[in-house]
Structure 1
């Protein structure tokens, strides 16, 4: 059934039989046979087809979710067996929320590749909620997040501190009073982001209820907007190192800031863990010993 599930996932991801056939180097009739065989085994229709695209039925949604998990477990099983006889190697699917993923993770990956050249990492960047969901569905081996999420089925471990600060354009006049901060235009991340969560906690702690808020989907866009004088924001010091060095932004000197939070890694709760995951986890646990001041 493994091949049938692989074909099914490809068809769903591409929403098209012919594009799935191209990806898998198969003929379109062969793709159709695999889908029909899977539907027959499950005794249900998985896809609604028309001339332009395919869509999941309700049964198909259930099958797609579990097909991803089944193939992920199969890949993990094979990796664990290989690990018994070899050094750390193979694919390592890493997810990270934006702050860690964009500004820190490349340096950690460079260290990983230097020590374990047979490990091939792939990177997915998303907000905290998205990364946790991908780990839950076994589409990622490990996730690194900034937000506070609890899940009894996942192992979560804080491994490094992070400082959050209020950032303005270098040309913006100093803001220090409660009224000035409340009346200022704020640029914030989207719901589900760890940075947005930290921002809302800061607003509550400071008793702020800003009326003017703009919501942007990435730290990079927010920094560009702040540099252009569109408003102020609340970001990790990791995210603004280059801008501070260039003098295009400034950090407000306000009592109670910086606000402390932590980076957390997320994995499946399991007795067995692939060597590639274990060595990466150990790198994260040694994060504070790394010298990455060149960021």
Structure 2
């Protein structure tokens, strides 16, 4: 792939000439020169500059999508060529939701790397909606998400089960209750994940199915990660609803207490998401490994 094309991708993804230069370890004037040469090649502006901010033009978006597809084809070619030498190598990018990236997938990636040490894996994390957008924009090759909703242009496959549980801090006034009712959930203070979170999406649907209006919950605050919620609970007289897999260490150490809710549970599945259409051989290799992995 032409180096100027790689420079363009870096600017498009950072939306900054200076950050792209830092990422590529070249000077900012060099970045500017490469972009001007590319704009001259197509005889059209690819970026719109407003003050210190940079935006892709309509033409820039078309070029970006095309270059990402070309980059994926190069990665697939590298993989196929390596197979001819009986030495599997290549590179791909995983986008994973926060819970999966922190508590589920690292061991899988480590095991995959042990088996295929010449394959480079890049892991990007965020909430499920963000990962789906990166997938649609060709910025990741596969997305691992924890939401229940689906987006057009994406196909989904379940790879493991999870459960959302109600927890409270060990020093909370609710820690000795052990069991609570669904009505208690309406009144006790709650801390939940942020909008766009797959966990929050599942929680909303679970309450709707139980005939409970989500807006009627006593939610005091939304936080951007499960880790921040667990830390918040250490000095909060209230509850949280988080992944059981994310709370295993704290439950074992007894810094968090799991509360059973009578006649109420929130099971969910973790899914692998793929952009509909062509799937690279390298992604298929990881997909096969993921679905045979013993979690």
TM-score strictly above 0.5: yes
- Give 1:201's aligned residue: 205
Does the 8 A contact of 1:160 with 1:262 survive in 2?
yes
- Give 1:58's aligned residue: 57
Structure 1 pair 256/70, CA: closer, same or farther in 2 (3 Å)?
Answer: same
Q: Output the aligned Cα RMSD.
A: 2.7
- Give 2:154's aligned residue: 154
Could you tell me which runs of 5 or more consecutive residues in structure 2 were left unpaired when the two chains were aligned. Answer: none
Q: SS where residue 192 of structure 1 aligns? A: coil
1:267, 1:190 → 2: CA distance? 24
2:274, 2:56 → 1: CA distance? 30
Does the 8 A contact of 2:97 with 2:131 survive in 1?
yes
Q: SS where residue 101 of structure 1 aligns? A: helix
Task: Say which of 213, 218, 234 aligns to 2:220.
Answer: 213
Could you tell me which runs of 5 or more consecutive residues in structure 1 were left unpaired when the two chains were aligned. Answer: 291-295
Structure 1 pair 16/151, CA: closer, same or farther in 2 (3 Å)?
Answer: closer
Does the 8 A contact of 1:225 with 1:231 survive in 2?
no
1:265 equivalent to 2:272? Answer: yes
TM-superposition CA deviations, 1:250-274 (whole Å, max 9, x none): 1112223432110100123345522
- Give 2:173's aligned residue: 172
Report how far residue 140 of structure 1 moved. Answer: 1.1
- Give 1:73's aligned residue: 72
Q: SS where residue 33 of structure 1 aligns? A: helix
- Give 1:109's aligned residue: 109
Does the 8 A contact of 2:10 with 2:20 survive in 1?
yes
2:193, 2:155 → 1: CA distance? 26
TM-superposition CA deviations, 1:179-202 (whole Å, max 9, x none): 432111111111111100112123
2:237, 2:222 → 1: CA distance? 12
Matches for 1:1-295 after TM superposition, within 5 Å: 2-13=2-13, 17=17, 20-21=20-21, 23-24=23-24, 26=26, 30-49=30-49, 53=52, 55-56=54-55, 58-59=57-58, 62-63=61-62, 65-66=64-65, 69-85=68-84, 86-170=86-170, 171-173=172-174, 174=177, 176-206=180-210, 207=212, 209-275=216-282, 277-287=283-293, 289-290=294-295
- How many residue pairs are counted as aligned between the two chains? 287
- When you count strand as a share of all residues, which structure comes out higher? 2
Does the 8 A contact of 2:12 with 2:56 survive in 1?
no
1:178, 1:151 → 2: CA distance? 31
TM-score for both structures, normalised by structure 1 = 0.84
